[in-house]
A and B are shown apart, each in its own frame.
Chain A
Amino acid sequence: MAKKEYSFYPGCSSQKAASASNYQTSVNSMCDVLDVQLNEIPDWNCCAASIGYAGGGELPRLAMSARNMALSEQAHPDQDIVATCAACWLATKETQERLHNDGGLMEETNKALAEGGLTVKADQNIRHMVEVLIEDFGYDALGKHVTRPLEGIKIAGYVGCQTNRPFGIDGESFENPKYLDKLVETLGADPVNNYDRKVSCCGGALAFSEPEKSQALIKDIIEAAYDGGADMIVTPCPVCQLNVEAYQGQINKKYNTKFDIPVVYYSTLMSVAYGKSYKESGLDGQMIKAKQLDAIAKK
């Protein structure tokens, strides 16, 4: 198969020594096996996430994502934009929708962009990495690269919010998307069936500002995974990953629980199953070690 190329929007959390740098490591390894070339959008900026709204009004926030699209059009005009972060993907896709459907916004945004010497058409496809995997490859093709099946590991597919709503992945429902489960199966592991918290909210950015309320949500997400017999949780979103992994200590103190469940990315699982090393799979980035994956990766 020929090499596939995409205009890549990595996002802030993927940067070196940032909270999802381990996500990026595993994505690189996964893409290496799949012969995917990610061409980084030159000088991309933050998408302002969902939480930028207090400081930034509508147009300044749209302008942030529009600048990224403009730079992508210049550098990689014939490629789809691909994001790995749910919030980046969502913000960019929403901006595109708004620019095309909302009266004068396209013109106003271009007026603003002109101050930075840019102009935007916003007509490139904007896709999440998961869409690329499912639509441009498909489960069968993804399965062909498995050299080390993840046998005997039970995994809860935690889809969360922003990779799922409002856009979601084609052919999946909002309330019970199954793609993570199918992917888990493709890699030789066992999905937790009927994982009832798979699309529940982790609190998102409000984990910082409303820690008590968010941690109550996170507790339910983890509890349901344990109830389903999960050894670990897999997610496509860096915010979900961080929230569900990092607060387990604090939740344990507060609720007297004994949570100690690893939370990994789909790309972590794929890298390990594809024969990549512990480091290449980003397993050194686990605050809660995924011991079963470590063992396979070190084989």
Chain B
Amino acid sequence: MSDMNTAMVEKYRNSFLSEVEANVEEGEWVKMCMQCGVCSGSCPFGPYWDHPPQELFMMIRAGKREAVLSSESMWMCTSCYNCIARCPRGLPITHIMHGLAHYAKRLGLAPKNQQTMKFASIFWDNLTKKGRVNELQLGLKLYFMNGFVEGIKTALCMKEMGMSMLMTKRMSPMEYFGGHSIKDTKGLHAILKKAREIEEAKAKQF
């Protein structure tokens, strides 16, 4: 168990709902859910959600902390916004899913080999390094995120697509050596560092 997880368990012993409200992005909305099920019927990866959004909200209220935070479910969210467009109560469901996923990862409770978690983490590191996404380096890292052998397999499987992207000048091998960047990376890094600090200080306060 991560230190942060232990601390959070201590602090919110009696109420997982309060923990979510305090620590998860848009978590204060969870109690507004009226369990109509509209959101659950809206997810494009519907069959693959062990617990669709409506169920996750019910489980949060029922205090099923482990089951919620270690679930693959919220990692199945494609950010399609169907749920937000349809929810009669106006819950920002997409953001709550992202928030739950982020919180689970921070606590070290997310499933270890969750593919979208790996991808999304690599993506964030890639974009914050230089302020802009380097698609080639991102792609290469992605191929190899599950180890060398898997990487070669993925790369072979993606070979044709990669070639057509090179041919149509929609990818450049030069990106490997640096590539797109903002000028003021120093400023951006300072901004992000401060934003993280503020967020961490807030999490401690609750």
Contact = CB atoms under 8 A, between A and B. Distances in A.
A84 B175 CA distance: 23
A165 interface: yes
Contacts of A59: 195-196, 198-199
Contacts of B127: 12, 45-46, 48, 52
Contacts of A52: 120, 123-124, 127
Interface string B84-112: 11100000001000110110011000000
Interface of B: 25, 44-45, 48, 76, 78-82, 84-86, 94, 98-99, 101-102, 105-106, 115-121, 123-125, 127-128, 131-133, 135, 142, 157, 160-161, 164-165, 167-172, 174-175, 180, 182-184, 187-188, 190-196, 198-199
Size bracket, chain A contacts: 35 or more
A287 B164 contact: yes
Given A53-B99, A205-B123, 10 more contacts: A51-B116, A54-B123, A57-B195, A57-B199, A112-B194, A112-B195, A115-B194, A161-B82, A165-B81, A165-B85
A95 B97 CA distance: 17
Interface of A: 12-13, 15-22, 43-46, 48-60, 62-64, 67, 108-109, 111-118, 161-162, 164-166, 174, 200-201, 203-206, 208-210, 213-214, 217, 246-247, 249-250, 284-287
B45 A54 contact: no
A201 B121 contact: no
Given A60-B195, A217-B44, A15 B132 contact: yes
A246 B82 contact: no
A284 B79 contact: no
B124 A201 contact: no
Given A44-B182, A115-B190, A165-B81, A285 B142 contact: no
Nearest to B122: A55
Contacts of B118: 209
Contacts of B167: 287
Contacts of A206: 45, 76, 78, 116
B142 A208 contact: yes
A53 B168 contact: no
B170 A19 contact: yes
A209 B195 contact: no
A50 B98 contact: yes
6 contacts: A46-B131, A53-B120, A54-B102, A165-B84, A246-B161, A287-B170
A250 B194 contact: no
Contacts of A118: 187, 191
Best-surrounded residue of A19, A214, A217 (most CB of chain B within 10 A) = A19
Contacts of A46: 127, 131-133
A19 B117 contact: no
B12 to A, nearest CB: 19
Nearest to B134: A12
